[in-house]
Chains A and B, each alone.
Chain A
Amino acid sequence: MTMALRTEAIETLLVEKGLVKSAAVDALVERYEQDIGPLRGARVVAKAWTDPKFRARLLEDGMPAIRELGFGDNTDAHVARLVVKENTESVHNLIVCTLCSCYPWAVLGLPPAWYKSPAYRSRAVREPRRLLAELGLDLSPDVEVRVWDSSAEVRYMVLPQRPEGTDGLGAEELTDLVTRDSMIGVERLQRTR
């Protein structure tokens, strides 16, 4: 049986048993596709770059800080904490989940396919420098690499470094610079995208 037919069959059963309503499933799929995406994370990053007090609160405890921006609804209700790790000149952070594919849904939406791939999950903890180099990010040997394996209900997000030459930019323009992959830690941001 194809995946699509199996999905129909399990949906029919779950509806019959009263566990789900098909209309609600339709609505949630639409919401995933349209509303929940890395834009929230990008706004959080832009705010942290421009508001030192917010940045301090964000690094102290992520969930209350993102709630200030109206995020952190029940998308990730089971999560214990959101921990934000800041990239600097001397430290580079990278996020992975080797056991399944835990990901900070509340700020980044659903994970991209490569994040869930066996190649990423297996290699990020053993050879992060080589992996990052293959993805186009060559780290100097002086830079310490910190890999965060999200093995419990703590979710991690990277606060990327603010690119040079962005002093005059406003919140919207800064938000536009921030990529999903920079908040996972596989990319460094540039002035022009």
Chain B
Amino acid sequence: MNGIHDMGGMHGFGAVDRRPDEALFPEAWQGRVCALAGYAIGAGLANLDAFRHAVERMPADRYLADGYYGRWLYALETLAAERLGGDAAVERPDHVGSVVREVDREARFAVGDAVRTWNRHPQGHTRLPGYARDRRGVIAEVHPACVYPDTNADDRGESPEYLYTVAFDSRELWGEEAEAAATVYIDLFEPYLEVLE
């Protein structure tokens, strides 16, 4: 979805405020939210993609105001309201492990292949950042097939897809004023990619 979370390339957020020796959890509730989210996901409240999508569904003003663990808290509340309403028990996942999956087909692309990303604006969850939509890149690495977040996030199934690291020249992403000698590498799933003729 085209949400506030998709921040790559945005202006207006100022300088990076890097403070030495800051506390991991400046407020106690932040640590509890961090741990609660881990256990709730492990116990089947939602898979990780659905959790990320719940964060993305947060109203933009609150997303910016509430901070990182405030977003996690919102996601827990949202998922609990959507999924824990009735008496039915939450189904515990049979395993919480790697997202890598075996598939009985070959990867469509190889290292060095020229590709173009698709130009789609799905309402749901996706891992193609907006700044890399409809852009030309080159396959830099082929990874194993993994759970596809776009379908897994709203429980339409894992439908595993091959994952690639795709290299984009900075000028392709940001135009002629882009910084020189810079490459952005993005991990993208096979459906996002088309052959570049």
A141 at the binding interface (Cβ < 8 Å)? yes
Q: Within residues 56 to 89 of chain B, which ones have a CB less than 8 A from any CB in chain A?
A: 64, 66, 68-70, 73, 76-77, 80, 84, 89
- Expressed in whole angstroms, the Cα–Cα distance for A154 and B141 within the complex equals 11
Given A7-B73, A99-B6: A77 and B13 interface contact (C-beta under 8 Å): no
16 A-B pairs with C-beta separation under 8 A: A10-B36, A10-B77, A13-B80, A20-B43, A32-B25, A32-B34, A98-B7, A113-B17, A121-B8, A123-B13, A125-B8, A128-B179, A141-B181, A144-B182, A145-B181, A152-B146
A70 nearest CB across to chain B (Å): 19
- B182 contacts A20, C-beta separation under 8 Å: no
Closest to B28 in A: A4
A146 at the binding interface (Cβ < 8 Å)? yes
- B89 contacts A122, C-beta separation under 8 Å: no
- B16 contacts A117, C-beta separation under 8 Å: yes
Count B interface residues, CB 8 Å.
79
- A77 contacts B8, C-beta separation under 8 Å: no
Could you tell me which B residues sit within 8 Å of A by CB distance? Answer: 5-11, 13-19, 22, 24-25, 27-36, 38-40, 43-45, 48, 52, 55, 64, 66, 68-70, 73, 76-77, 80, 84, 89-90, 96-100, 127-129, 131, 141, 143-144, 146-147, 149, 163, 165, 173-174, 178-189
- A77 contacts B16, C-beta separation under 8 Å: no
- A78 contacts B96, C-beta separation under 8 Å: yes
Interface centre among B18, B84, B149 (most CB of A within 10 A): B18
- Expressed in whole angstroms, the Cα–Cα distance for A77 and B13 within the complex equals 33
Residues of A close to B11: CB separation below 8 A: 122
- Expressed in whole angstroms, the Cα–Cα distance for A101 and B56 within the complex equals 12
- B131 contacts A25, C-beta separation under 8 Å: no
- A80 contacts B99, C-beta separation under 8 Å: yes
- Expressed in whole angstroms, the Cα–Cα distance for A18 and B76 within the complex equals 15
Closest to B12 in A: A122
Known: A119-B17, A129-B182. 16 other contacts (CB 8 A): A4-B29, A10-B33, A11-B36, A19-B40, A19-B45, A24-B39, A28-B39, A29-B32, A80-B144, A98-B9, A101-B68, A125-B8, A125-B9, A135-B16, A147-B185, A154-B163
Residues of B close to A3: CB separation below 8 A: 27, 29-30, 66, 69-70, 73
- Expressed in whole angstroms, the Cα–Cα distance for A2 and B84 within the complex equals 22
Contact pick for A77, options B66, B96, B146, CB 8 Å: B96
A1 nearest CB across to chain B (Å): 10
Residues of A close to B185: CB separation below 8 A: 146-149
A171 at the binding interface (Cβ < 8 Å)? no
Residues of B close to A79: CB separation below 8 A: 98-99
- B32 contacts A25, C-beta separation under 8 Å: yes
Bitwise interface map of A from 22 to 60 toward B, beta carbon under 8 Å scored 1, else 0: 001100110011000000000000000000000000000
- Expressed in whole angstroms, the Cα–Cα distance for A149 and B166 within the complex equals 10
Q: Within residues 64 to 123 of chain A, which ones have a CB less than 8 A from any CB in chain B?
A: 77-81, 83, 98-101, 109-110, 112-114, 116-123
Residues of B close to A144: CB separation below 8 A: 181-183
- B6 contacts A10, C-beta separation under 8 Å: no
